[in-house]
Chain A
């Protein structure tokens, strides 16, 4: 079974802090994604990566950056956390073009105070 693991289930940070959310997958998937989930808005794509050191902006990249130094790991960085970044963050991975479904981690509920 594919395993996508996010480093924290719950996180509380202060406004202005730099925040790192880590995600690791164990199935050698090329693609990795970061989404945020908010009530009434569904899942919105922040960034995705289709290869090591490659990244593409999603729909809402402002205030975020990402890092993918190794194939299995994809990090989401909040450069200076703000209260409007309080949300559920979901990491996902998928194989290449042919197998397109994504597998998700358990989510990180981030609260910025």
Chain B
């Protein structure tokens, strides 16, 4: 069985603040993939990043960075200097082993206040 927990239901920050979205996962497989998606108010989920279980390197893309720690089964997402356009629901997801099925967390709604 696989599970993804996003304990933060809603977060509000003031523009230009940094914010970290938490993601904790559970799986018994040694090979797995983790994802982050963004769902803006328009509704379409947008793929942000994929990380496989063999690659614990952190990743930075502009104002976005991801911290993958197998020791704590976490894959956290940080937005630096947040902007109003970052307001969205963010989902963390997990795919284990040979399965095509992806398990999503319940999402974190981020509101960036101008």
Residues on A facing B (Cβ under 8 Å): 31, 33, 35, 40-45, 48, 50, 56, 58, 88, 90, 92, 94, 97, 100-107, 109
A102 to B50 Cα, complex, angstroms:
10
Cβ contact within 8 Å between A101 and B44: no
Within 8 A of A (CB), among B50-105: 50, 91, 95, 98, 100-105
Complex CA gap A43/B35 in Å reads 14
- Establish whether residues B102 and A45, one from each chain, have CB atoms under 8 Å apart when the complex forms: yes
Q: How many residues on B have C-beta within 8 angstroms of the other chain's C-beta atoms?
A: 23
**How far, in angstroms, from A92 to B104 measured CA to CA in the complex?**
13
Residues of B bordering A, CB below 8 Å: 6, 9, 33, 35, 37, 42-47, 50, 91, 95, 98, 100-107
Q: Tell me the smallest distance from the CB of A90 to a CB of chain B, in Å.
A: 7
A-B contact count (CB 8 A): 51
Instruction: Give the shortest distance, in Å, between B4 (CB) and chain A (any CB).
Output: 8
Q: Which of B43, B47, B101, B104 contacts A101 (CB 8 A)?
A: B47
Residues in chain A near residue B102, CB distance under 8 A:
33, 45, 100, 102
| Minimum distance in angstroms from B57 CB to a CB of chain A | 18
By the criterion CB–CB under 8 Å, are B43 and A31 in contact? Answer: no
Known: A42-B107, A100-B95. A107 touches B43 (CB 8 A): yes
Given A104-B44, A107-B44, A58 contacting B107 (CB threshold 8 A): no
A31 contacts B44, CB within 8 Å? no
Cβ contacts under 8 Å, A35 to chain B: 104
Q: In the assembled complex, which residues on chain A have CB atoms less than 8 Å from the CB atom of B50?
A: 100-101
4 interchain residue pairs of minimum CB distance = A42-B106, A104-B45, A43-B104, A107-B43
